[in-house]
Structures are given as C-alpha cells and as structure tokens.
Chain A
Amino acid sequence: MSALRLSFLLLYFGAVFFPASAATIPAWLKFWKGKDTHSVAKKTPSLTLGAFSGGTGESAKQALMKELNSTRQFKLTNVDPDFTVTANSVGGRVNGRLVNRSGKELLDRTYAAPGLDENLKAFADDLILAVTGKPGLATSRIVFVSDKTGTKQVYLCDSNGQDVQQVTHHSHGCVSPTLSMDGTTIAYTSYASGFPIVQVLDLGQGWERTVTDTPGSSFGASFAPDGERLAVVMSFLGNPEIFVTDLNANSAACISDSTGAPSSPAWHPDGQQIIFADDRGDGPRLYVTEVPKSNKAEAKLIRWRTGYAFCADPEFSPNADSVAFTARIGGELAVVVKGWPTGSSRVIQKSGASHPSWSPDGQYLCYSQNGTLYLHHRTTGHRRVILSGQGQITEPRWMK
C-alpha cells in the first residue's frame, strides 16, 4: 500500500516539475521515439596532403589545407591516413587526385576556373563528396534579403558570409528569394512593376524572366529538386493557393485547397511532397500535400502536428529526416527542428530567430535573428555570426 502511495506522489511531483513541453518529456517516456541518428559518433576520416607540384603548387597546398581544416570533415595527419591527396597546380589551374589507403583512385579532376581560390573550393567540395558522400559547403551559396541600400534587395554570399554580391537592383525592391539545387538560378518576388510578381534570374547568363504576373500577389517561390518546377503562392483565383508551375511548359496546377492564407511552400527532397504553412483562421500551422503526377491524380493533404500553434517557413532537411521551421514561442519567433514524419521537437534558437534553412550536407542551419545571419551546427549546437552590418538581413535560403 505504501508503494502505491509513493507512486502517486512520484506521479504528482512528475507532473509539477516536468511542465508541458515536447523538449522536457522525461527520457524514460521516449522509448517509442527511435534513435537520434545524429548523436551517433562517427569516426572522422583521416587525410594527408601529399605532393603538390607546379608553379602554384605550394600555395595551393596551403590554401587547400586551410579550406579542409575549416570544414572539420577530415582529420589532417601524416600518420597512417585513410586518404591521400596530390595535385599539380600551374597558374591557378589545379589537377587534383584522391587515392584511398589501398591506392585506389577515387578522384582525378582538373579545375580550370579563372582563380586558384575558386578551383580549390571546388576541389575541397569534391574531396568531401568522394569521402563522405555528402556535398561540401565551400562552393555553396546562401541567398538572402537585405535593406542596406534603402530598399529590400536580394544578395548572395558563401557559407562563411564572404563574397557578398547584390543580385537584384529593382525599383521598389525584391524579396522572398530561393536558389535552385545547383545554385545557378534564383527565383524571387519582384516589386518592379509595383505589384508582387515572381521572376527567375539565371546567374550564369544574366537573363531574367517573369514566371507569374497574375492579378493579386505572387510570392514564396521554391524550386523543386529537379529544378524544372517552382512552387509558388498565387491569389488570382480569390483565395491564395499553392501552385506548382512547370518552368519549361509555363503551366501551373493548384495543389492546395485553402480557405485561409497559405505561405512558404518547400519541397520534400523526393520532389513528390510539399510542406507549407496555412492559416485557416487560428494561426499558421504546417500542412503537407502530395504533388499529383497528373491532372486527374488524387493528392493527400495532411496537417502535420508540430506541437506549436504558430508555425511558418518550413524546410525539409536534405535527407528528409527533419523539418526546420519558425515557431512563435512566448510571443517571440524561434527556430525549431522536429523529426519527420515523427520525432521530438528541439528549439534551436529563440529570441527572434526565424527563417531557418539547411546546409546542403544537413549539418548546419542558417537563420536570421535581429537582422544578423547566423550559422548553427545541428549536432554541437555551436553557432556563429557569419554576416552582420549589412542592413537588416532576412529570409536566408541555402542552396541544396
């Protein structure tokens, strides 16, 4: 009997001292949650930089060592390395090779871009991809909005916040940018005509074209993984709805069925589902819809319960095991990550942090907080400012 009484007491104190929150569920209650794959320690591959020949060989070696050190993907050592890198560099051009412990060649490629730095970044990314199977970040780009010129315009920077370039110079500004998977194309909402229309800019060739110039508003563009389709919010039918436009055929199909205010669509990496926020009168919640393969195909629409009453800006992680989104907690915006399709929620950053976007390797999140751009390591929780003093930085989106 006393044991029974003790268990009631424990139950009571458990309820009082473990208040409602997804993050504070006692560990013993999490037996059904599954294993957090990101907490499993993996052995860091070791790598050595061997002979670097040619006129710019030595400077290439030093620069590559610095680049690889900053990625923290390898343990650089000369003692029994798993992989060996050699290269020949003349006039900034780089021919790089990667062999494994048994001498098998994994990579042999020539990098002939105009600058040595550019070539080494591409080489570093290829080394990371060859060894880890995940894309490197050296050549990846982050697109964001800044008001430093007085109007909101779209900018690009690299994953260290360097090499900042203003991409748009439209009258009345441009917002809501997104990059294609290969980083060659940006889609954004332009106010050049005074009304919000969605445009696409080819960064390599410089041409710009209008994708949607429909009555009402068009915004929230998001590239499909194949780069040939764009999810976008349009309101010409009355209620704003999510449409998928085919960039080659210039056709559009409505995939949502909302009476409210849908926003910020984002693609699943498989290209067959889209997650978006929709306010149906009680604050924005997250919904997931299938993208029908044909006009007559049926599509499921589900509400994805996150445990938060106000959610926006969702984005799937590159391996689709999680979704990062903006939630409102205690009256302030916060960045939250939740396992997909089920799993616990984790508050990444409070105090006004918003608009999270995953790095191509899924190890980092970038987000804006009080006009500053931050990089946040998913596993360690370490975060750092990568860009500040550039006006109010908002809406960052990382190339995938």
Chain B
Amino acid sequence: MNRLCLCFSAFLAPLFLFTQCSHFPSFPAEPVPEVVYALGSRDGFTSPLSVALKPACSALEFTGVSFALTGVHRRQLASLATDPATIKDSYLIAGYAPPGLPEDFARALSERRAQAARQYLIESGVEAVQLQTVGFGFDSAPNAPGANVVVVYHQ
C-alpha cells in the first residue's frame, strides 16, 4: 500500500507543479538567420507613401508573427534575381503588419521581414546597393490584398 501511495505521489507531484507553471519551456527553436548586409544610401529611392509604386512581384504573404522566409517566398523572389532584364533594377522592399499587434512591435516585425527578403535577394545575386527596406507596421496600408505582407516595389 505504501509503495502504491509513493508511486501515486511521484505521478501527481510533477502534474501539480506543471499546472502551477504559467508557461511551459519552449522546444529549441530553429536558429534565426542573421541579416548581415548593411543598407546603403537611401538617395534616389521613393516611398510608396509619396507616389504610387508598382510591385515587382506578387506580395509575400506571412502568417502570424513569423519573419522567416518560406519556400513560396523564395520562389516569388527568385524571379527578380534570375531575370536578366530586371537584375540591375533597384527595389524598395516594404514590410507591413496587420492591425491587432502592438504598434512598435508591428514596425519591427515588418522591417525584419523586409530585411529577410533583402538578404535572400542579395544571396541570389542582386547587388546590395539596389535594395532598400522599410517597415511600415500598420501605419499605412499596403499596395497588396493582404495586410501581413512584404511588397517589393520597383523603383
């Protein structure tokens, strides 16, 4: 009987402790790639707030608060890096986030997503000086169907 009680308590004690935890430790997350290319001068780049700009490819749609590029995003961006007609062009990569997030976090998240897209384009062969980023959060509406997007504007 004593042994049974001990086994029972060995099972219940961790259960009790877990239920008193306000959060559980997360599993080791996939390491986030660092953005290593500094931005060049912004001279000559135009904001979509000032004039209507044409997107260079379809908008990269994100889910949740992720800023990691998916295979779909890479395929969308690859066309800009491989087309000889456009590889010398300049692009403004603008991140947007949906309402409902804390405002400042939305700006950081949208900028980080734009930087991730820029990093991939540089690694794919586009010159770093041809690429600028901006994160609008939800301070302005994107020129795209969704609000959780990165739009690559042709300059």
Interface residues of A (CB under 8 A from B): 1, 4-5, 8, 11-12, 14-16, 18-22, 25, 29, 145, 152, 172-173, 175-176, 189, 191, 193-196, 214-217, 219-220, 233, 235-240, 259-264, 277, 279-284, 307-310, 312-313, 326, 333, 345, 354-355, 394-395
Contact = CB atoms under 8 A, between A and B. Distances in A.
A29 B115 contact: no
A238 B38 contact: yes
A395 B101 CA distance: 12
B104 A176 contact: yes
Interface string B143-155: 0000000000000
Interface stretch (B40-48, B72-80, B81-89): B40-48
Contact of A215 (B101, B109, B132): B132
30 contacts: A4-B5, A8-B5, A8-B8, A11-B13, A15-B20, A18-B20, A175-B139, A191-B140, A193-B47, A194-B47, A195-B134, A215-B133, A216-B134, A220-B107, A238-B115, A259-B32, A259-B34, A263-B107, A264-B104, A279-B67, A279-B112, A281-B32, A283-B65, A284-B65, A284-B102, A309-B23, A312-B101, A345-B22, A355-B102, A395-B104
Interface centre among A1, A193, A281, A307, by most B CB within 10 Å? A281
A13 to B, nearest CB: 10
Interface centre among A194, A236, A264, A309, by most B CB within 10 Å? A194
A29 to B, nearest CB: 7
A262 to B, nearest CB: 6
Given A264-B105, A277-B108, A308-B22, 11 more contacts: A11-B9, A20-B18, A20-B20, A236-B39, A237-B38, A240-B135, A259-B31, A263-B104, A284-B105, A309-B23, A326-B102
Given A238-B37, A394-B103, A216 B20 contact: no
B139 A280 contact: no
A333 B65 CA distance: 14
A388 B85 CA distance: 53
Interface centre among A15, A25, A280, by most B CB within 10 Å? A15
Task: Tell me the dominant secondary structure on chain B's binding face.
Answer: loop
Contacts of A236: 38-39
Contact of B9 (A8, A195, A263): A8
Closest 5 CB pairs of A and B: A194-B47, A307-B22, A215-B39, A263-B108, A312-B102
Nearest to A16: B19
Contact of B19 (A18, A220, A260): A18
Contacts of B31: 259, 281
A15 B5 contact: no
A235 B102 contact: no
Interface residues of B, number: 59
A354 B23 CA distance: 21
B42 A215 contact: yes
B45 to A, nearest CB: 8
Contacts of B20: 15, 18, 20, 25, 29
A22 B105 CA distance: 24
Nearest to B112: A261
Nearest to A327: B102
Given A215-B42, A280-B32, A312-B105, A239 B115 contact: yes
A196 B48 CA distance: 12
A5 B105 contact: no
A312 B104 contact: yes
Contacts of A22: 22
Interface centre among B13, B40, B112, by most A CB within 10 Å? B112
B67 A260 contact: yes
A14 B103 contact: no
A195 B42 contact: yes
Nearest to A22: B22
B52 interface: no
Contacts of A4: 5
B102 A217 contact: no
Given A20-B19, A29-B20, A217-B107, A152 B139 contact: yes
